[in-house]
């Protein structure tokens, strides 16, 4: 995800400073005009806005605060804006915002949906939490990447991404189970998918992930393990605010079972494989 985001920002005329834990990944972006640095601090020191695309909340916290003098926070300029595009728990986003504010720094949580394909095309859905003035300030960065929507205060962007991932994960399961039921009963899965396209059951999940299921193409675009992380983030958030989420709880267990059965490196549409196995349809 980070590489196409950097390429689009460079193409839009931004001077982009980059750091990656795997330096070779950063160096590959030099051909597009990016300037590579040895530490997050060094990259942040030459930037008015710092944008991160990292694995989870723990990694974001480490890069931002936990690397000693090399941490991004030590390089950020007075009044600098940190834009976190990782998918993390809302409470983690609020904590990061609070700790940055103590240093006179600004924060937006801005997770995205659309995957690598959306990043390459500049069609990401960007869900943003934080102050309205910071959202306006970040528009020149968001514009080349996709459609940004300000959804509320700090943490609200992560709430929106949690909702997105709940819907994606649950719908993948619904499509997989329905197509497998049809196959078990003797229908042609590909023709069933074609037949229900355009009706009330149609969705991008049916179109994209349903096609992957028909073709048994489970090369990872978004991994099963990442989908499991997102479902667990949703359940943790639900628990914190006293919300009962039985459907998400059920699907968290299904994804967990798939990961336990060795499917963690498959695309999240690989839940189909777990459900097929339960029905002896391998």
CA distance 276 to 88: 31
CA distance 231 to 270: 15
Identified catalytic residue from 161, 184, 191, 223: 161
Annotated catalytic, 161?
yes
- State the Cα angle at 117 between 40 and 21, rounded to 5°: 20
> What residue spans of the chain are helical by DSSP H?
2-11, 23-27, 40-45, 57-65, 72-75, 90-101, 115-121, 132-142, 156-185, 189-196, 204, 210-215, 224-241, 246-258, 271-278
Residue 84 · residue 108 · CB < 8 Å: yes
**Maximum Cα interatomic distance, the chain, rounded to a whole number of Å:** 65
3-state secondary structure of 261: helix
Task: Look up residue 205 and give its DSSP letter.
Answer: I
Question: Phi and psi dihedrals of 12, rounded to 5?
Answer: -80, 0
Torsion of CA 186, 187, 188, 194, to 10 degrees: -170
Residues with catalytic annotation? 161
């Amino acid at each position: 995800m980070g590489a196409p985001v950097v390429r689009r920002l460079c193409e839009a005329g931004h001077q982009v400073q980059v750091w990656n834990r795997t330096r070779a990944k950063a160096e590959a972006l030099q051909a597009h005009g990016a300037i590579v640095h040895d530490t997050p601090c060094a990259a942040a020191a030459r930037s008015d806005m710092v944008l991160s695309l990292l694995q989870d909340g723990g990694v974001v916290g480490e890069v931002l605060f936990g690397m000693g003098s090399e941490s991004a926070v030590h390089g950020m300029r007075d009044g600098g804006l940190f834009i976190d595009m990782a998918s993390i728990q809302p409470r983690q986003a609020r904590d990061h915002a609070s700790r940055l504010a103590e240093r006179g720094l600004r924060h937006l949580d801005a997770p995205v949906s659309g995957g690598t394909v959306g990043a390459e095309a500049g069609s990401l859905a960007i869900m943003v939490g934080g102050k309205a003035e910071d959202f306006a300030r970040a528009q020149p960065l968001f514009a080349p990447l996709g459609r940004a929507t300000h959804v509320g205060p700090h943490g609200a962007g992560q709430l929106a991404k949690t909702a997105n991932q709940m819907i994606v994960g649950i719908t993948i399961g619904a499509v997989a189970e329905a197509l497998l039921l049809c196959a078990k009963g003797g229908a042609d899965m590909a023709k069933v998918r074609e037949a229900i396209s355009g009706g009330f059951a149609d969705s991008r999940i049916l179109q994209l992930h349903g096609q992957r299921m028909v073709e048994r193409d489970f090369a990872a675009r978004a991994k099963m393990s990442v989908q499991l992380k997102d479902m667990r983030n949703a359940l943790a958030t639900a628990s914190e605010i006293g919300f009962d989420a039985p459907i998400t709880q059920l699907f968290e267990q299904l994804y967990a079972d798939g990961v336990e059965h060795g499917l963690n490196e498959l695309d999240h549409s690989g839940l189909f494989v777990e459900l097929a196995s339960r029905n002896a349809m391998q």
